[in-house]
A = this chain, B = another copy of it.
């Protein structure tokens, strides 16, 4: 029987997305569950298994038609052994061999990777970075994640932990970061940090969406806040651009919703401060795949892992 389906899973601190993927990475069916409903590790694993089995049953497909299961996960993974080292935002996970557990129960090939890596893979193969060899992908959310495409392939580093753009120090002194470091980019532009700064400027709680709307209407404080954010991110990217001389930097995640004001100012910082050869080369673009990037990346992981 031809293997025409992939099951893709995107686990985040908030949502657990499970999808059935067909030819050309089309999402045929998708379910979004709340991660918090499942409490600790064993319940969450059971929920993943149940969601997969439900899709197989409801869609009346045979296991023989499924190429494999791909999971994007919010933490560092040993992709070779299939071990989750930990999830910074989901308690109870420490060195869990999730690949083995799932393969035993499902009798299907299972592939795991970090969610930011899968976003990068998705943008490189199916999104804004198609055809480019060397690309940095960044997701701006509660955390600042990153994935690197080097010579056309996902680059994972010596222990599969590469790509942590959120943990580039941008100053020698600065706020401590929950990675154990100091003055990391994430400690300046994680979405909670932006909201804190907004509360100081506006003297009230204000959402990122409102901040984006206000900036579009040229509200001074909102413009100031996005300029500061772009300046922190731009300075970190100057270093990455000088070091890696990439073709493009693809930026996604909720904070990227600020749009033109953020992107224009990031480009300005890079043109002014990165080295000329590298600055002229690099394009700064918005991610194309949005919320589905993780599911598409998980499908690509299965496809490239099996073949």
Residues on A close to B: CB < 8 A? 76, 85, 133-134, 146, 148, 150-151, 153, 155-165, 167-172, 179-182, 231-232, 235, 238-240, 242-247, 272-278, 280-282
Contact = CB atoms under 8 A, between A and B. Distances in A.
Contact of A242 (B160, B168, B281): B168
Contacts of A182: 273
A172 B243 contact: no
Given A161-B277, A168-B243, 14 more contacts: A146-B243, A148-B243, A157-B245, A157-B281, A158-B281, A159-B245, A162-B243, A164-B243, A165-B243, A171-B171, A172-B231, A172-B235, A179-B275, A181-B273
A275 B242 contact: no
Q: Number of copies of this chain in the oligomer?
A: 2
A136 B157 CA distance: 12
A232 B273 contact: no
Given A171-B172, A245-B162, A157 B278 contact: yes
Contact of A170 (B162, B169, B242): B169
A62 to B, nearest CB: 38
A189 to B, nearest CB: 12
A236 to B, nearest CB: 8
Contact of A162 (B85, B169, B244, B273): B244
A244 B235 CA distance: 18
Contacts of A281: 157-159, 161
Contacts of A161: 245, 275, 277-278, 281
Contacts of A277: 76, 85, 159, 161
24 contacts: A134-B157, A134-B158, A150-B150, A151-B151, A151-B155, A157-B246, A157-B278, A158-B281, A158-B282, A159-B245, A159-B277, A159-B280, A160-B245, A162-B243, A167-B239, A167-B242, A168-B243, A169-B170, A169-B239, A171-B172, A172-B231, A179-B275, A180-B273, A181-B242
A128 to B, nearest CB: 15
A177 to B, nearest CB: 9
A243 B245 contact: no
A7 B168 CA distance: 41
A26 to B, nearest CB: 31
A87 B272 CA distance: 21
Contacts of A133: 158
Contacts of A232: 172
A164 B273 contact: no
A273 B187 CA distance: 14
A244 to B, nearest CB: 5
A174 to B, nearest CB: 9
Nearest to A76: B277
Contacts of A244: 148, 157, 162
Nearest to A247: B158
A183 to B, nearest CB: 8
